[in-house]
């Protein structure tokens, strides 16, 4: 028997994952959709993509990213709805409320999944009992059609792996007793965080199964496979030691938009981009940050893309400053090209110092104006007051459901 040096502590991390979250929410809301293959998309169009599919659709091979035409070819009765952000945000808030009631140490990983860390929490029941209770509470407090996958493990990685073990509606615990058997039953690519590129690297050095990955020593992983400290992290993560509890720093804020029809109409594009810039400004201030770097990018109808970046001497914070820089970059684009997707992001972020008094009167005035507009929009709803130039943008750019980060749901709620 090989000693892999597994973490033998009691598993105290729980991963909660809402099954087919957006599709389940629609099936909960519309009883006639239950048991049917259906999906949701951000904007219904001829070639729109499925962004969430029901389990009935997944069983027919209709997965996230499948185009509408492909889905209908697989299932002529396939139903597609447009997303309803307020519905999903409410679900998110309920999941958050339930998770919060068990431990102060919790973190939402995205709109439909989160982690509860029970270390240091006094418990009178087993983790498995708590897991079943959370599943039942989602049904009682949100809806009977809401199914939740629960995974329990000694670290975040194994808790997530456990949550994906038996979908839908599963509850599994992974620890040193069953970890080896679990690894024997999965493929290398089934491991969370090991996508095609890492899998290819592992296979290139003769590591073809999760068990061989587990058996590789940390020097080998660090020097031969990952060629960085990540090798060491993976060595410990696979054994159940916590490597993912550190908070991540905010790197950038941005927004992108796919045009319904490719265009090179300068005035129209400018208004839409100005609108995007104002929403990015809202995000920046919501995170109490200022930015020095700015980038505008776009992709074209015929293929290919363009981007331009600028690093500024002073930080920017107000909508006016952001738009001034964005419009300068936008003017540099190849103007004859039809744009399909465009976006911008701000980077080199630093904590905002705007609460400090400025030496310059005009800077202070611009800050006061921005603050006043934000307060009005905060109370009366986003885009109650906005630049006249963005009017076309407000009518064309639709709010989408964010994947990944959950930092801006309060902002999204105000726009719903």
The residues that touch another protein, with contacts defined as CB under 8 A, are 25, 28-33, 36, 44, 68, 72, 78-82, 86-87, 90-91, 140-143, 379-381, 384, 413-414, 416
Task: Tell me the closest approach of the beta carbon of residue 384 to another protein, in angstroms.
Answer: 6
Minimal distance, residue 321 CB to another protein, in Å = 27
d(Cα 215, Cα 209) in Å, to the nearest integer? Answer: 10
Query: Nearest distance from residue 121's CB to another protein, in Å?
Result: 25
The residue among 81 and 258 lying less far from another protein, judged by its C-beta, is 81
Structure-token pair, residue 71: 């889905």
Q: What is the spatial distance between Cα 166 and Cα 171, in angstroms, rounded to a whole number?
A: 7
- Closest separation in Å from C-beta 94 to another protein: 9
For another protein, the closer of residues 317 and 383 by Cβ is: 383
Residue 156 phi, psi (nearest 5): -60, -40
User: In the bound complex, what is the minimum distance in angstroms from residue 32's beta carbon to another protein?
Assistant: 5
Mapped onto helix, strand or coil, the DSSP state of residue 73 is helix
Please count the other Cβ atoms lying within 10 Å of the Cβ belonging to residue 108: 18
Q: Which of 256, 326, 310, 322 is nearest to 285 (CA)?
A: 322
Cβ of residue 253: shortest distance to another protein, in angstroms? 23
Give the closest residue to 110 by CA, choosing from 400, 405, 410, 413: 405
**83 or 406: CB nearest another protein:** 83
> In terms of CB distance, is 219 or 410 closer to another protein?
410
Look up tokens 């104002």; give the residue.
278
- The least CB distance from residue 151 to another protein, in Å, is 26
Cβ 246 to another protein, closest distance in Å? Answer: 34
Dist. CA 281–CA 377, nearest whole Å: 13
Contact between 389 and 274 under an 8 Å Cβ cutoff? The reply is yes
Pair 240, 155: CB distance under 8 Å:
yes
Shortest spacing between CB 79 and another protein, in angstroms = 6
Integer Cα distance of 239 and 232 in angstroms: 11
Nearer to another protein, 53 or 316 (CB): 53
Nearer to another protein, 141 or 169 (CB): 141
Min dist. Cβ of residue 76 to another protein (A)? 10
3-state secondary structure 124-167: CCCHHHHHHHHHHHHHHHCCCCCCEEEEEECCHHHHHHHHCCCC
Describe the crossing of helices 266-286 and 319-330 by its angle, rounded to 10 degrees. Answer: 140
CA distances from 338 to 259, 262, 305, 329, 345 (A): 10, 5, 11, 17, 21
Select 97 or 335, whichever has its Cβ closest to another protein: 97
Specify the residue, 41 or 271, whose C-beta has the smaller distance to another protein.
41
Q: In degrees to the nearest 10, what's the CA dihedral of 186, 179, 113, 124?
A: 150
Q: Which is nearer to another protein, 137 or 224 (CB)?
A: 137
The enclosing H or E element of 107 equals strand 106-110
Closest distance to another protein from the beta carbon of 93 (Å): 9
Helix axes of 361-380 and 266-286: crossing angle, nearest 10 degrees: 90
Question: Rounded distance, CA 321 to CA 370, Å?
Answer: 11
If the CB atoms of residues 79 and 150 are measured against another protein, the closer one turns out to be 79
C-alpha 334: how far from its chain's center? 32
- Which residue, 80 or 127, is less far from another protein as judged by CB? 80
């Amino acid at each position: 028997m090989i000693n892999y040096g597994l973490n033998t502590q009691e598993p105290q991390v729980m991963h909660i994952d809402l099954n087919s979250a957006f599709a389940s929410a629609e099936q909960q809301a519309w009883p006639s959709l239950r048991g049917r293959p259906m999906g949701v998309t951000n904007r219904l169009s001829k070639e729109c993509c499925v962004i969430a599919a029901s389990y009935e659709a997944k069983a027919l091979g209709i997965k996230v990213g499948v185009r509408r035409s492909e889905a209908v070819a697989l299932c002529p009765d396939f139903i597609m709805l447009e997303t309803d952000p307020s519905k999903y945000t409410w679900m998110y808030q309920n999941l958050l409320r339930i998770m919060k009631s068990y431990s102060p140490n919790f973190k939402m990983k995205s709109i439909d999944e989160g982690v509860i860390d029970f270390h240091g929490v006094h418990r009178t029941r087993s983790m498995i009992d708590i897991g079943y209770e959370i599943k039942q509470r989602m049904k009682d407090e949100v809806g009977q059609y809401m199914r939740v996958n629960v995974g329990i493990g000694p670290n975040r990685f194994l808790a997530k792996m456990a949550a994906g073990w038996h979908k839908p509606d599963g509850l599994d615990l992974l620890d040193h007793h069953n970890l080896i058997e679990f690894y024997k039953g999965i493929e290398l690519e089934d491991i969370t965080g090991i996508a095609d590129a890492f899998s290819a690297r592992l296979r290139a050095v003769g590591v073809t199964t999760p068990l061989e990955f587990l058996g590789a020593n940390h020097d080998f992983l660090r020097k031969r496979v990952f060629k960085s400290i990540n090798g060491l992290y993976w060595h410990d993560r696979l054994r159940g030691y916590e490597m993912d509890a550190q908070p991540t720093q905010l790197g950038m804020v941005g927004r992108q938009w796919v045009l319904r029809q490719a265009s090179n109409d300068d005035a129209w594009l400018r208004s839409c981009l100005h609108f995007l810039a104002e929403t990015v400004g809202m995000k920046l201030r919501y995170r109490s940050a200022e930015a020095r770097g700015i980038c505008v990018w776009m992709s074209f109808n015929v293929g290919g893309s363009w981007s331009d970046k600028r690093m500024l001497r002073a930080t920017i914070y107000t909508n006016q400053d952001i738009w001034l820089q964005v419009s300068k970059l936008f003017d540099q684009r190849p103007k004859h090209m039809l744009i399909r997707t465009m976006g911008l992001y701000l980077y080199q972020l630093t904590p905002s110092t705007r609460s400090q008094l400025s030496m310059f009167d005009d800077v202070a005035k611009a800050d006061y104006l921005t603050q006043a507009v934000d307060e009005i929009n905060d109370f009366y709803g986003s885009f109650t007051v906005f630049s006249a130039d963005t009017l076309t943008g407000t009518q064309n750019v639709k709010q989408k459901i964010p994947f990944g980060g959950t930092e801006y749901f309060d902002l999204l709620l105000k726009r719903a």
